[in-house]
Structure 1
Amino acid sequence: MNIRKLYRNPEVKKITIKYLLLLIAAIITISAIAFFITRNINKKIIENNTIIISKFTEKMDIGDIISDLPKVHNKEDFSKAKEVMKSYGYDDEMSKDSNELIVYFYKEIFITFSIFFIIIFSILYFFYIRELKRIYINIDDIVNKVSSMSYGEYKSIEGDFNEGDMAILISSLNYMGERVNNSINLLTKEKENLKDYLSDISHQLKTPLSSLIMLNDLLKENEDMPYTDRIKFLNKCDEQLSRMEWLIMNLLKVGRLEAGAVVFQKELEPLNETINIAISSLKETIKSKSQNLVITGDLDSELLHDKEWLAEAFTNIIKNSVEHTKEGGEIKIEVVNGPLITKVYIKDNGKGIPKEMQKNIFKRFYKGENSKDPKSIGIGLSLSKTIIEGLGGEIKVDSEEGKGTTFIISFLRK
C-alpha cells in the first residue's frame, strides 16, 4: 500500500490533523513557558545588577563584591541602588526586549524546546502512521480475499494479530469464508447433479416414448391391421405408458426426497404391518416364479418410522431380490430386534452381485453389466437408500456370486 492510498482513508486524515493541532498547541505552550522563564530570569538579573551597584556605593573591592553576591544584601543600600537605577529606567518594569541577554535566552529556550518537541512528535507520528499502514495493509488483504468469496475462491486470511478485535474479526471472516466456499461448492455440485439428473431422465424417458411414437404410427398407417395385431400393439402401448408412469412417479419421489420436501410421519408401529404392505404388490410375481417367501424374526417389535415410505423402500429391495432369483428360489425377510439396533435382513439365494458392482448398486439409474431385463431402470435401490437414510437408518449389501445377496437395513432404537 503506497502512502497516497493510505492518506485517502479519513481515519488517517483525522489522526494527521489532530497531530498537527497537538504540535501547534505544544509550540504555543513552549512559547508561553519560555516567556515566563525569561521574565523571571530578567527580574533575577536586574536584582543581581542592583546588588552589584549597591556594593559599589559601599566602595567594596571587586573580589569582595563577587564573593558577597550569594549572601543576603543590605536592604538600605539595596533600596538606594534601586532608586538610582530606576532613574535610568533600569528596574522590574523594564521590558525584557530591552535586555539583549534575555532576548537571547528566550530565543534559545524557544528554539531548543520547539525543535525537541517537533522531533519527538515526528517520531511518534512516524511510528503511529507505520502501525496504521500495517493495519491498512491487512485490511486491504482482507477486502481482496472477502471479495473473492462470491466466486468461491476465498483463501484463509493470515493476519499478524495475535489477539484483540482484529484477531476476532479475522477469525470470524475465515469461518464465514469457509462456510461460503462450502456453500458455493455444494451449489456447484448440486448444479452438476441436476444436470446429470435431467440427462438421466431424458435418457430413460426417450426409450418408452420412442416406442409409443412408433406403435402409434403403425396403428395410424395400417387401418386394415388385423384385430389381434391391433390388440397386441395397444397392449404394448399400455406397457410403455405404465413404464413411463412408474418412472415419472419414482423420479418425483426421489426429487422430493433429495430436496427435503417430504415430511415423514413417524409413528411407533410394529414392523410386520410395514412388511405386509411391502409384499402385497409382489405376491403375484413371487407366485408366478414359484418362489418361497419366508418372513421370520421379531415381527412384533415396534419401530419409530413412516410406515408407507418404509414399505416403499422394502418393496423395491424385495422386488430386486425376486427379479434376480431363479424360479423355485427363496426370499427370506428376517427381523432382529437388539437392545440398541433393530435390523431387517432381506436375503435371496439368487445369482449374487459381483464384488466390483456392489459399491454402485445404490447409484441412480445404475444397472448391472449382466442385466438383460429391458424393463429394469435402476432407480429402485437408489430410492430405497434415500428413504431409509431419510428415516435415520442405514442400508448395506452383502453378496457373493452364485450364493445370493443379503440387504441389511439397520435402525437405531429410540
Structure 2
Amino acid sequence: MKNNMNKETLFLVVITLLYNLFLLLYFKIFLLLILSILMCVIYIFYCYLSIKKVENEVYAFTESINKSFNELINKEYANIFSLNTMDETLIAKINQKMIRLAEILEHESVKGMKEKKELQVLISDISHQVKTPLTNLKMLQCTLLEKELPKEKRIELLLSVGRQLNKLDFLLNSMIKTSRLETGLIQLNKLEENLFETIAEALSGITILAEKKNMNILVKCSEEFLLKHDRKWTAEALFNVLENAVKYSPKGTVIEIQVSRWEISTKIDIIDQGKGIPEEHHGKIFQRFYREEYNNDEEGIGIGLYLTREIIQKQGGYIKVSSTVSKGSTFSIFLPNN
C-alpha cells in the first residue's frame, strides 16, 4: 500500500514538473513571438522613416535641379550655387557641371552666331567684288556687239575684257586659297629651307611690274640663310606685300627687303617709299576686302594682306605695319626660328 502511494506521488511530481516545464516553454515561445512581432514593427517603422528620408532628399534634390535649370535659363549663374571648392555634395558637383555645360553651350551659340554673321559678310563681300567686273564685262560686251568700231578701239576693248577676266580669276583663286587655309584643308609644311631662295621666288612675280616703273629692289639677306618655313606659302605671303609696295610706290623709287635673325624669331622687313598709310587704317588693312579710300585709283580687291596674315599666323608668326603718309611704309613679318 505504501509503495503504491509513493508511486502515485512520484507520478504527480513528474506530471507537475512536466506541466510547469510546458508552461515555461510556452511562455518563452510566447515571449519570443511578442519580441519578433515587436522587432518587425520596429523594422517596418525604420524602413518607413528611411524611405521617407530618401523621398525628402530626392524631392529636395529635384527641387534644387529645377531651380538650377530655371536660373540657367535666366543666366543667373551667380545665384545657382556657391562654387565653394570645399563643398563636395552631389548637388554641388552637379550644379558646377551644369554651370560649365551652360557656359559651353552659350560659347558654342555665340560662336555659331559669329560664324553665321561672318559667312553673311563674306557672301556680301564676294557679291560686291564680283559685281564690278561682271558689270564692266557686260558693258564691254554690249559695246562690242552694238557698235561698228575701228580695229584699234576693238582691240582696246578686248584688252579691257581680258583685264576684267583676270581680275575675276584672281579673285576666285584668292578666295579659294583663303577658304582652304581658314578651314584647315591646307596644312602648311614647315621645313628648314633657304629663305633667300623663297624671297627670290616671291620677287619673280613682280619683276616685270617693277621694271616698268623703273624701280629698284634691294635684298639684304644672306644667300645661306636657313629658316623653318613653308616655302610655297611664305613666298605667296611675301609676294602679296611686295606687289602692294610696287603698285602704291612712285616710279623710280626703291624697295628694300631686310632680313635679321633675332633670339626667338626672324624678322623680314619690306620697306617702300610709297604713299604711306594713315595711322587709323593700320588695324584695318589686314581685314578681308578692305581697301583704303585714298587708293581707289589703283586696281585691287583688298584680299592680299588678309591672305598674308593668315599664312604667317598659320606658321606661328605675325605681321605688323609702321607707316608715315607721303613717306612710305614698313611691313614687318616675324617667323619663329624653331
Whichever of the two has the greater Rg, that structure is 1
Runs of 5+ in structure 2 lacking a partner?
1-8
Deviations 1:343-367 (A, max 9, x none): 1001112222111111111000111
Deviations 1:86-114 (A, max 9, x none): 78x974435999x9xx99x9999789777
Please tell me the residue identity of whatever aligns with 2:63.
Answer: I
Please tell me the residue identity of whatever aligns with 1:377.
Answer: I
DSSP 3-state at the match of 2:331: strand
* Change in CA separation of 1:410 and 1:154 when aligned onto 2, cut-off 3 Å: farther
Question: Match for residue 347 of structure 1?
Answer: 271
- Tell which deviates more after alignment, 120-129 or 226-235: 120-129
Question: Match for residue 93 of structure 1?
Answer: 22
Please tell me the residue identity of whatever aligns with 1:296.
Answer: K
Which one of 34, 43, 56 corresponds to residue 130 of structure 1?
A: 56
For the 8 Å contact 1:266–1:306, the answer to whether it is kept is yes
Please tell me the residue identity of whatever aligns with 2:307.
Answer: L
Query: 1:158-197, aligned counterparts within 5 Å?
Result: 158=81, 162-163=87-88, 171=96, 174-197=99-122
Deviations 1:272-312 (A, max 9, x none): 11111111121222222222321114453211112111111
| Percent identical | 32
* Change in CA separation of 1:392 and 1:94 when aligned onto 2, cut-off 3 Å: closer
Question: Match for residue 369 of structure 1?
Answer: 293
The question of 1:307 aligning with 2:231 is answered yes
* In structure 1, C-alpha distance between the alignment counterparts of 2:292 and 2:140, rounded to whole Å: 29
* In structure 2, C-alpha distance between the alignment counterparts of 1:273 and 1:179, rounded to whole Å: 46
The question of 1:378 aligning with 2:307 is answered no
* In structure 2, C-alpha distance between the alignment counterparts of 1:308 and 1:406, rounded to whole Å: 23
* Change in CA separation of 1:334 and 1:119 when aligned onto 2, cut-off 3 Å: same
For the 8 Å contact 2:260–2:268, the answer to whether it is kept is yes
Please tell me the residue identity of whatever aligns with 1:135.
Answer: F
* In structure 1, C-alpha distance between the alignment counterparts of 2:133 and 2:76, rounded to whole Å: 47
Deviations 1:224-258 (A, max 9, x none): 22222211111111111111111111111111111
Query: 1:21-36, aligned counterparts within 5 Å?
Result: none
What's the offset of the Cα at 1:123? 3.6
Question: Match for residue 33 of structure 1?
Answer: none
For the 8 Å contact 1:154–1:177, the answer to whether it is kept is no
Please tell me the residue identity of whatever aligns with 1:206.
Answer: K
* Change in CA separation of 1:116 and 1:336 when aligned onto 2, cut-off 3 Å: same
* In structure 2, C-alpha distance between the alignment counterparts of 1:344 and 1:318, rounded to whole Å: 12
* Change in CA separation of 1:323 and 1:154 when aligned onto 2, cut-off 3 Å: farther
Question: Match for residue 281 of structure 1?
Answer: 205
DSSP 3-state at the match of 2:115: helix
* In structure 2, C-alpha distance between the alignment counterparts of 1:336 and 1:109, rounded to whole Å: 97
Please tell me the residue identity of whatever aligns with 2:300.
Answer: S
* Change in CA separation of 1:108 and 1:209 when aligned onto 2, cut-off 3 Å: same
Deviations 1:114-158 (A, max 9, x none): 77666554443332322222333345567x58x97xxxx896964
- Tell which deviates more after alignment, 208-217 or 162-171: 162-171
For the 8 Å contact 1:321–1:348, the answer to whether it is kept is yes
Question: Match for residue 174 of structure 2?
Answer: 250
* In structure 2, C-alpha distance between the alignment counterparts of 1:159 and 1:120, rounded to whole Å: 34
What's the offset of the Cα at 1:323? 2.2
Which one of 284, 287, 290 corresponds to residue 360 of structure 1?
A: 284
For the 8 Å contact 2:81–2:92, the answer to whether it is kept is no
DSSP 3-state at the match of 2:232: helix
* In structure 2, C-alpha distance between the alignment counterparts of 1:159 and 1:338, rounded to whole Å: 49
Greater relative CO, 1 or 2 (CA 8 Å, sep 6+): 2
What's the offset of the Cα at 1:396? 0.9
* In structure 1, C-alpha distance between the alignment counterparts of 2:40 and 2:205, rounded to whole Å: 102
Return the TM-score normalized by structure 1: 0.67
Return the TM-score normalized by structure 2: 0.81
Please tell me the residue identity of whatever aligns with 1:208.
Answer: P
Question: Match for residue 42 of structure 1?
Answer: none
* Change in CA separation of 1:303 and 1:213 when aligned onto 2, cut-off 3 Å: same
* In structure 2, C-alpha distance between the alignment counterparts of 1:311 and 1:111, rounded to whole Å: 94
Deviations 1:161-208 (A, max 9, x none): 932776666555554554444333323222211111111000000000
- What is the root-mean-square deviation in Å for CA atoms of aligned residues? 3.7
